[in-house]
Structure 1
Amino acid sequence: MSRDCDSLPENTIVVGCGAAGVDFLATVATYPKPDDKIRSTSFKIQGGGNAGNALTCTARLGLKPRIISKVADDTQGREILHELEVDGVDTSFMAVSKEGTSPFTYIIVDSQTKSRTCIHTPGFPPMKPDDLPESNLLTALNGARIVYLDGRLHETALVVAHEAWTEASTVSKALVCMLLRLPNIKFVIVTLGKDGCIMLERCVNEDPSAEEVVVDKLLESLEMRKNGSTHIPTCISSPVTKLHAEGIGTVCSRLYIGTAKNIPPSELIDTTGAGDAFIGAVLYAICANFEPEKMLCFAATVVSSLAL
């Protein structure tokens, strides 16, 4: 796949704060029952963690990511740092504990159902704000175009959750709520696994003549335009509209549905890290100034190439 690197601006620095760990992936013919003893059909060890995965994706796509996370000075911790560095992720802002353990996850991949079961062991001691001096934090953020938080560092996650939390009854209403509560963000995206994603983009220049539409009904109309047998990712969008969510409010915006590639079960290998790869591809697309339609299709294509 072409990286379209020529379209990237000079500033391609992204900073990610969150989880980085090691994944132990065992593929089995069928998921075991209690007290079963089975053998794996394949086994591999690779880097994991939401922030680690997403930033690795951005590095492979041509960006310059920096990661803020924590590992221990153990065998796994050193391997985590090494793998990130080899892929081009700047680990100079990682906190390294002299004692304790680095985070890791056991992942059981069922080759029959194509599902994966994750058993995560957090690192110890957990990361605290004091682990990264303020001067280092300012340096890490210096010149960054985007800051990505995966919610795994609890102090930061609590702040983000408090600001973004909604009590909306549907996903589409929640997107409207988030745009209203966070006036500086340009768009919000929610991923839907094999069903693709939904994106709501704020429109700065409101058209006084724009029609007011109930957001749930608009989403239903866009869903009807989807082709269930899609073989390549596509994007379906609405016109600029005053989208209304009952009990929440109205925002001038445009609604998008991004479809995922329809991969036959016989061709699907593993979906581990797919969501993180989607985020990494979106970060790249933002830096490359992609239009929303191209961004969603590009991110879905990156994900499908990893699952095959």
Structure 2
Amino acid sequence: MGRIVIVGSLNADLVVQTPRFPRPGETVHGSPLQVLPGGKSSNQAAAAARLGGDVRLVGAVGDDGQGRMLVAAARDAGVDTSSVLTRADVATGTAVITVDEAGENTIVISAGANGTLSPDDVARAASVGGDSQGGDSPFDGAAVLGLCLEVSLETVIAAARAGRDAGALVLTNVSPFAEVGDELLSLTDVVLLNEHEAAELVSGGDVADCAPSDWAVVSRALAGRGVTRAVVTTGAAGCTVLVDGEPPVAVASPRVTAVDTTGCGDAFMGALALRLASGDGLADAARFAVRVASFAATRVGAQSSYPTPEELAAFA
């Protein structure tokens, strides 16, 4: 299994559960506040590491209690955090999350230190002695580089270039969705996105509940943007694997009773990166990832819901 490098965000998740989401202007009662480790990139790294992956995380936190909590949680999950920077002049990133009784969530993020992670920080991490202990670069020998859009697009592109130069497979999660342009797509080997993000990326409208012939149209549209390999997640249904010139492959998800879907997409991403780093083909990696994401939906929280190999085996 090769090394997985994740470049991006760490957030303190401020979580409240409520029977239903409030309407505009309405106040509803919720559960006691929980402060949990999160951030898409940190979640993805934790998911892969808990499953046994060799994972390095590149990111930034504030010099505060929440930042220290996030770094400690990542380490406890088995993630190498030696390339996580501490900023003295900015707060740690935060996500305000509400979860309803069906397990669905709403999330508002405040970038904090994540917004300070720069292309220069990536360049320093990619250099020899680029981590905080003066050790090797996290990109050296990397098999897979995982990216998302919770840090600046310029930083994501710089990381994609570093990953490409290191010979890593670049896996980009186009979330939270933003128009990324052709440069990042040209540096990306596999794009991960949900059906709504796929619709946005190809400007083709809603692609939910596609028939196989429709997915072929989506695949060709993505190829027109330079995306020749993609995994489109479809919620509780699972995902569809799209490879240009090949028939779409639908991957069904195990049926579970969802408790909290927060971080399930990140669990999918981390598991997908793990199996790609192990040499799996894209469809086989996606079959593994849907099981991990389904398991995560049965537990509260993001990182706290991610399985070990033993837990996943028992679930299967």
In the alignment, which residue of structure 2 is the partner of 1:200?
A: 242
Q: Secondary structure at the match of 1:262?
A: coil
In the alignment, which residue of structure 2 is the partner of 1:144?
A: 142
Q: Secondary structure at the match of 1:100?
A: coil
Offset of residue 43 of structure 1: 4.4
- Does the 8 A contact of 1:14 with 1:63 survive in 2? yes
- Tell me the TM-score normalized by structure 1: 0.70
In the alignment, which residue of structure 2 is the partner of 1:176?
A: 220
2:78 equivalent among 84, 88, 94: 88
In the alignment, which residue of structure 2 is the partner of 1:73?
A: 63
In the alignment, which residue of structure 1 is the partner of 2:169?
A: none
- Does the 8 A contact of 1:55 with 1:280 survive in 2? yes
- Tell me the TM-score normalized by structure 2: 0.69
Q: For residues 166 and 307 of structure 1, what CA distance do their matches in structure 2 show?
A: 26
Q: Aligned partner of 2:241: which letter?
A: M
Q: For residues 148 and 47 of structure 2, what CA distance do their matches in structure 1 show?
A: 14
Q: Does residue 25 of structure 2 align to residue 27 of structure 1? A: no
- Does the 8 A contact of 2:117 with 2:155 survive in 1? no
Q: Does residue 93 of structure 2 align to residue 106 of structure 1? A: no
Q: For residues 143 and 125 of structure 1, what CA distance do their matches in structure 2 show?
A: 25
Inter-CA distance 301–135: structure 2 relative to 1 (3 Å threshold): same
Inter-CA distance 200–167: structure 2 relative to 1 (3 Å threshold): closer
Inter-CA distance 136–114: structure 2 relative to 1 (3 Å threshold): closer
1:162 equivalent among 181, 184, 190: 181
Q: For residues 135 and 103 of structure 1, what CA distance do their matches in structure 2 show?
A: 22
Q: Secondary structure at the match of 1:268?
A: coil
In the alignment, which residue of structure 2 is the partner of 1:240?
A: none
Q: For residues 262 and 298 of structure 1, what CA distance do their matches in structure 2 show?
A: 15
Q: Does residue 110 of structure 2 align to residue 121 of structure 1? A: yes
In the alignment, which residue of structure 2 is the partner of 1:305?
A: 295
Inter-CA distance 167–16: structure 2 relative to 1 (3 Å threshold): same
Q: For residues 129 and 43 of structure 1, what CA distance do their matches in structure 2 show?
A: 32
Q: For residues 269 and 117 of structure 2, what CA distance do their matches in structure 1 show?
A: 25
In the alignment, which residue of structure 2 is the partner of 1:38?
A: 29
- Who wins on radius of gyration, i.e. which is larger? 1
Q: For residues 115 and 39 of structure 2, what CA distance do their matches in structure 1 show?
A: 14
Q: Aligned partner of 1:95: which letter?
A: L
- RMSD, aligned CA: 2.6
How many residue pairs get matched?
A: 242
Structure 2: 5+ residue stretches without partners: 128-136, 161-179, 186-199, 208-214, 299-316
Offset of residue 102 of structure 1: 0.4
Q: What's the % identity of the aligned pairs?
A: 24
Q: Secondary structure at the match of 1:31?
A: coil
Offset of residue 128 of structure 1: 4.1
Q: For residues 130 and 291 of structure 1, what CA distance do their matches in structure 2 show?
A: 31
In the alignment, which residue of structure 2 is the partner of 1:52?
A: 42
Q: For residues 131 and 158 of structure 1, what CA distance do their matches in structure 2 show?
A: 12
Q: Aligned partner of 1:260: which letter?
A: S
Q: Aligned partner of 2:104: which letter?
A: S
Inter-CA distance 117–199: structure 2 relative to 1 (3 Å threshold): same
Offset of residue 16 of structure 1: 0.8
Q: For residues 240 and 38 of structure 2, what CA distance do their matches in structure 1 show?
A: 25
> Between Structure 1 and Structure 2, which shows a larger proportion of helix residues?
2
Offset of residue 85 of structure 1: 1.0
Superimposed CA distance per residue, residues 26-78 of structure 1 (whole angstroms, 9 cap, x where no aligned partner): 112333453535241x5432211111111100001111111111111111111
Q: Aligned partner of 2:239: which letter?
A: C
Q: Secondary structure at the match of 1:304?
A: helix
Structure 1: 5+ residue stretches without partners: 1-8, 202-250
In the alignment, which residue of structure 2 is the partner of 1:224?
A: none
- Does the 8 A contact of 2:251 with 2:287 survive in 1? yes
Q: Aligned partner of 2:41: which letter?
A: A
Q: For residues 68 and 114 of structure 2, what CA distance do their matches in structure 1 show?
A: 16
Q: Secondary structure at the match of 2:21?
A: coil
Superimposed CA distance per residue, residues 174-210 of structure 1 (whole angstroms, 9 cap, x where no aligned partner): 4334446548x6x311111122211123xxxxxxxxx
Q: For residues 122 and 147 of structure 2, what CA distance do their matches in structure 1 show?
A: 18
Per mean C-alpha deviation after superposition, the further-off stretch among 27-36 and 114-123 is: 27-36
- Does the 8 A contact of 2:260 with 2:297 survive in 1? yes
Inter-CA distance 180–142: structure 2 relative to 1 (3 Å threshold): farther
Q: Aligned partner of 1:198: which letter?
A: T
Offset of residue 124 of structure 1: 4.3
Q: Aligned partner of 1:80: which letter?
A: L
- Does the 8 A contact of 1:69 with 1:127 survive in 2? no
Q: Aligned partner of 2:147: which letter?
A: L
Q: For residues 122 and 148 of structure 2, what CA distance do their matches in structure 1 show?
A: 21
Q: Secondary structure at the match of 2:220?
A: helix
